């Protein structure tokens, strides 16, 4: 396992891709503006760089379609930037509400969870949040759901429903923002719900995976273990979950749990699966490769800093630290 290529662009905060190009948003400490860089993902050759003259919300990942990259701001807006020219194409105005989850683009729409300020005549209450759907070409609001209250937020859109986690509640919405059902969680689920054909799974950093049936939200089962900083990953009909230095496999339908092996140290952050290999990172600049069939572990020291933003583009693993983008080609 070796680094194939790298590119130093400084101040990397966010990294997304569309399968063809890689898009990073970066800002050095002494810079006034954020920069959008467009990169060829295999060679990591820099294609172009554009200034983003608005306050980027670097806690939320942008989403990408064929023409635009949609970047959330800290002022309740989502800005659509032309991927080729860097020009602003559309502004989706959410009314200066805080954006707490999303954006997710699908077909003609942008989905987000945002604040719903309510005025009592004395003060504005900003601890309520709702699902909002906007037209991504015009920016106009299409639909808005009911208010929800909580302090952790995530959202997933699948072929049938919109799933949101607010605090310790899992909500199931139809495509018109109508609540169909909800389920109570034992712990707040910080990570995006994972959906299969028949099940929806919620992972919490408090150390739990809770599995529900999609049709009735019946609790199918749960795994409770130690606190961790890693979401689970879908692997066929199973979940792979790296908890501390332990790697578990969870059968979603049963749900039975199997301990697959141990990593050399505790991992932190998201994992990805490429060619039956689980890739994870830790806080001291190492990347781990855990073979899900032979259970053999490899590790690569990148630097002494945390690496993050793990992405898969075909058989390539893309990741960053706070200054540099890296590429590892994963052999079959």
Q: Count structural domains, the chain.
A: 1
* Better-scored residue on pLDDT, 1 or 105: 105
Q: With 0.85 as the threshold, say if the pTM is over it.
A: yes
Percent of the chain exceeding pLDDT 70 equals 95
Which is nearest to 182 in space by CA: 158, 205, 165? 165
CB atoms within 10 A of CB 243: 21
pLDDT for residue 181 is more than 90 = yes
CB atoms within 10 A of CB 257: 17
Give a yes or no: residue 222 inside a domain: no
Give a yes or no: residue 135 inside a domain: yes
Give a yes or no: residue 136 inside a domain: yes
Give a yes or no: residue 220 inside a domain: no
pLDDT in tens, 274-301: 999 999 988 888 899 999 999 999 999 9
Confidence (pLDDT) at 116: 66
Q: How confident is the model at residue 29 (pLDDT cuts 50, 70, 90)?
A: low
Give a yes or no: residue 79 inside a domain: yes
pLDDT for residue 85 is more than 60 = yes
Distance CA 130, CA 144 (A): 7
pLDDT for residue 146 is more than 90 = no
Give a yes or no: residue 99 inside a domain: yes
Confidence (pLDDT) at 123: 44
Give a yes or no: residue 117 inside a domain: yes
Domain that holds residue 79: 73-143
Q: Which structure tokens are listed for 39?
A: 């990169």
Contact 131, 164 (CB under 8 A): yes
Q: What does the pLDDT average to over 235-244?
A: 89
Confidence (pLDDT) at 125: 52
Q: Which of 116-130, 157-171, 240-254 has the lowest mean pLDDT?
A: 116-130
């Amino acid at each position: 396992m070796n680094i194939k290529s790298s590119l130093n662009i400084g101040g990397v905060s966010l990294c997304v891709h569309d399968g063809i190009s890689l898009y990073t948003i970066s800002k050095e400490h002494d810079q006034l503006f954020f920069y959008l860089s467009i990169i060829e993902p295999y060679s990591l050759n820099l294609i172009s760089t554009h200034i983003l003259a608005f306050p980027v919300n670097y806690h939320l990942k942008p989403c990408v379609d064929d023409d635009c990259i949609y970047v959330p701001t800290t002022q309740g807006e989502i800005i659509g930037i032309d991927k080729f020219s860097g020009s602003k194409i559309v502004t989706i105005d959410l009314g200066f509400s805080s954006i707490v989850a999303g954006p997710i683009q699908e077909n003609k729409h942008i989905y987000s969870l945002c604040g719903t300020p309510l005025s009592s005549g004395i003060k504005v209450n900003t601890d309520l949040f709702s699902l909002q759907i906007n037209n991504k070409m015009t920016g106009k609001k299409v639909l808005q759901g009911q208010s929800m209250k909580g302090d952790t937020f995530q959202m997933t859109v699948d072929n049938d429903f919109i799933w949101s986690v607010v605090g310790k509640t899992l909500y199931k919405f139809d495509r018109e923002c109508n609540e169909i059902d909800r389920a109570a969680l034992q712990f707040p689920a910080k990570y995006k719900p994972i959906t299969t054909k028949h099940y929806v799974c919620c992972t919490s950093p408090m150390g739990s995976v809770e599995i529900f049936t999609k049709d009735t939200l019946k609790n199918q089962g749960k795994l409770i273990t130690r606190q961790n900083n890693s979401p689970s990953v879908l692997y066929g009909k199973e979940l792979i979950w790296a908890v501390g230095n332990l790697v578990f496999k969870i059968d979603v339908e049963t749900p039975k749990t199997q301990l697959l092996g141990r990593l050399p140290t505790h991992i932190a952050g998201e994992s990805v699966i490429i060619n039956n290999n689980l890739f994870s990172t830790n806080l001291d600049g190492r990347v781990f490769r855990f073979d899900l069939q032979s259970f053999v572990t490899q590790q690569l020291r990148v630097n002494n800093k945390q690496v993050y933003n793990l992405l898969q583009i075909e058989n390539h693993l893309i990741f960053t630290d706070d200054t540099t983008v890296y590429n590892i080609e994963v052999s079959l």
